[in-house]
Structure 1
């Protein structure tokens, strides 16, 4: 089974539960706890209801009922230890360099869940706008036949042009690159650059092309009204394999242990 849980567990059952699942599963605790942090600074979080998430790579996050970011956290590579003290369940995360210690005193556990999350095999990352520019320089035909890229990040008074080039008719071509869906602001950027070049070289000698995977309806309408162009190009993709060896390495380095006393 991928998911195991305990509802309102006593401390002994919780201790055995974590010992069994923490090495290969994400542990999620719904708890009433307080938190003490000692590292780059010192802080204390008084008792309250929080979500505690502990991952096999040593990551630890504490979330409150508001905001996107955790209120406390420790990065991958931290070592996690547990013990029972004064009828409370204590979780301690230690990061060696720089040394940071995060201690959670769980006064009450409402629910404990272990989720064996096995998505570490492959991670597909979409390329950056800089990588889009590199891709176009290597293969200018992606824009059109006869396009010649001349410069990347070309500085002008109104901003920085992603790619400046010329077409087969020797017209200036200004490319504005967006790795995600382009919007009105993207068109406005391109318009500023094109207007500067038109003032300098003449109305008929300058073209502006917005390069992106897609664009909003408003952006398309503004492009047409400004006599600008659109070229659909997806950013390059990178395949990164996070192997099982890496997962095993994390589990070896960041041993999760139940201790009677801290090391």
Structure 2
């Protein structure tokens, strides 16, 4: 059965939903009055309340309250989900191995239990986005300046992830911070932080803010900090071509 849903399920019905959903790698959704216990890098207790519990085939385990986008408790993909009956109550348990973390939901009253055997292999394509700007510059580095070469896309550093990291014709390391819309003071501050991080290890580092435009405040701060600006708009084609990224042991 592709979809199964039961309102106010009996304990037997609930156990069947959980068993069938987990064994068939379905998405399980439960609306319930519950409490939550977490034991891991710290300990926490979430008292009684109405929540939405979502279990995904990859092991993702999410508990949502009535407000906010983020789950109040969660476990990442790769976690192991099981269930048991204790003191006549169903408990759903999610265990993450490394680091060892356990999330246990005690179901006090279940309003609805369901599962969906979902088929979905598509990936999100961002159109006219910073991702496309990044790929466009990677393929056409001359839009930044003559002789510029990209070394890395999305390079993790101490305080974040650099959109593009490269070298200019003189061998200087260059940090590119991309914004698809008008760049503001925050964008300049972010670029400054990345440049300072890399200067600690690599000496002279240039920072270039890349955007369609920038605020007057951002322009003043760029000049004050010795940073640069290049006017580039997100590409207007349907999908930016993706080039093969170079890999270097060091820069």
Report the TM-score, using the length of structure 1 for normalisation.
0.59
Aligned counterpart, 1:135 = 139
How far apart, in 2, do the equivalents of 1:27 and 1:83 lie? 16
Of 64-73 and 118-127, more deviation after overlay is shown by 118-127
* Contact 1:213-1:233 within 8 A present in 2 as well: no
1:187 to 197, 205, 214: 214
Output the CA distance in 2 between the equivalents of 1:237 and 1:88.
54
From 146, 149, 156, the equivalent of 1:148 is 146
**Structure 1 residues 105-184: aligned runs within 5 Å:** 105-122=106-123, 124=125, 127=131, 131-137=135-141, 140=142, 143=143, 148-150=146-148, 178=178, 180=180, 182-183=181-182
Runs of 4+ off more than 6 Å:
161-166, 193-196
RMSD, aligned α-carbons = 4.0
SS of the aligned residue for 1:148 comes to: coil
Does structure 1 retain, via aligned residues, the 8 Å contact 2:183–2:218?
no
After the TM superposition, which of the residue ranges 60-69 and 122-131 deviates more from structure 2?
Answer: 122-131
> Tell me, which stretches of 5 or more residues in structure 2 are unaligned?
152-163, 170-175, 185-212, 244-251
Change (3 A) 1:20 1:194: closer
**SS of structure 1 residue aligned to 2:13:** helix
Summarize the Cα distance change of 1:58–1:151 in structure 2 as closer, same or farther, 3 Å threshold.
closer
Q: Displacement of 1:136 after TM fit?
A: 1.9
Q: Give the structure 2 partner of residue 96 of structure 1.
A: 97
Instruction: Provide the residue aligned with 1:66 in structure 2.
Output: 67
SS of residue matched to 2:214:
helix
Q: Which moved more, 1:120-129 or 1:104-113?
A: 120-129
Between the two proteins, the alignment pairs up a number of residues equal to 191
Determine if contact 1:6/1:112 at 8 Å carries over to the other structure.
yes
User: What does 1:242-257 correspond to in 2, within 5 Å?
Assistant: none
Find the counterpart in structure 1 of residue 197 from structure 2. Answer: none
Mapped partners of 1:194, 1:18: distance in 2: 56
Q: Give the deviation of 1:87 after TM superposition.
A: 2.2
Q: Kindly provide the CA deviation profile for residues 68-109 of structure 1, in whole angstroms up to 9, marking residues without a partner as x.
A: 111111111111111122221110111111111111000110
Are the aligned partners of 1:54 and 1:60 in contact in 2 as well (CA < 8 Å)? yes
Corresponding residue of 2:232: 211
CA contact (8 A) 2:136 2:241 kept: no
CA deviations 1:51-70 (Å, max 9, x no partner) are 11000111101111111111
1:44 Cα deviation after fit: 0.7
Shift of 1:18: 1.7
Distance 1:21 1:33 in 2: 20
* Matched residue, 2:6: 6
Q: For 1:187, what is the secondary structure of its paired residue?
A: coil
Looking at structure 1, the residues matched to 63 and 241 of structure 2 have their Cα atoms a distance apart, in angstroms, of: 33
* Alpha-carbon contact 2:133-2:233 (below 8 Å) kept: no
The structure that has the greater radius of gyration is 1
Q: How far does residue 122 in structure 1 lie from its aligned partner after superposition? A: 4.3
**CA pair 66-86 structure 1, distance change in 2 beyond 3 A:** same
